């Protein structure tokens, strides 16, 4: 089984049918992938969708992401994400939450954000476009 951690940009690419979005959907529905995301990234996606449509709810987002495990974000995770700010100062909080989770799960982080390609190799990375 392949472990994948989704960045907010990857989920939004799927929802808005942007480049890379079909790969995200295929991973979500495939039994060959274990797909996770940080609660921080889940919140980012829910916020973005809520700005675009009043009908998007937490239940609706869950239905869009069947089988995706949303990982809790607590004090220990916060410390790790804050530490990543030193080596990855150009990444947002959500980006660092995704990266930290990928490190913790020994997973590949999937993103569409080009800035990630300039990062030191802290975790496996899949650029979706």
Q: What pLDDT digit, counting tens, does each position of 75-125 carry?
A: 999 999 999 999 888 899 999 999 999 999 999 999 999 988 887 778 999
Position 92 scores a pLDDT of 93
Position 110 scores a pLDDT of 98
Position 58 scores a pLDDT of 85
CATH number of 8's domain: 3.40.50.1010
Domain residue limits at 111:
2-127
Q: How many domains does the chain have?
A: 1
Tell me the pLDDT band of 126, cut-offs 50, 70 and 90: very high
Position 57 scores a pLDDT of 82
pTM as predicted: 0.92
Buried b (16+ CB within 10 A) or exposed e, 40-78: bbbbbbbebbeeeeeebeeeebeebbeebebbebeeebe
Spatial separation of the C-alpha atoms in residues 116 and 102, rounded to whole Å: 13
- Rg (C-alpha) for the chain, rounded Å, is 14
């Amino acid at each position: 089984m392949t472990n994948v951690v989704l960045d907010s940009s990857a989920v939004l690419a799927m929802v808005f049918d942007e480049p890379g979005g079909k790969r995200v959907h295929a991973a979500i529905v495939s039994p060959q992938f274990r797909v996770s995301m940080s609660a921080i990234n889940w919140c980012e996606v829910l916020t973005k969708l809520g700005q675009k449509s009043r009908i998007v709810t937490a239940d609706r987002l869950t239905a869009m992401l069947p089988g995706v495990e949303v990982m809790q974000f607590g004090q220990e995770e916060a410390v790790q994400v804050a530490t990543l700010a030193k080596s990855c100062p150009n990444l947002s909080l959500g980006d660092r939450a995704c990266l930290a989770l990928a490190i913790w799960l020994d997973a590949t982080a999937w993103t569409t954000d080009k800035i990630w390609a300039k990062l030191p190799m802290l975790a496996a990375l899949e650029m979706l476009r």
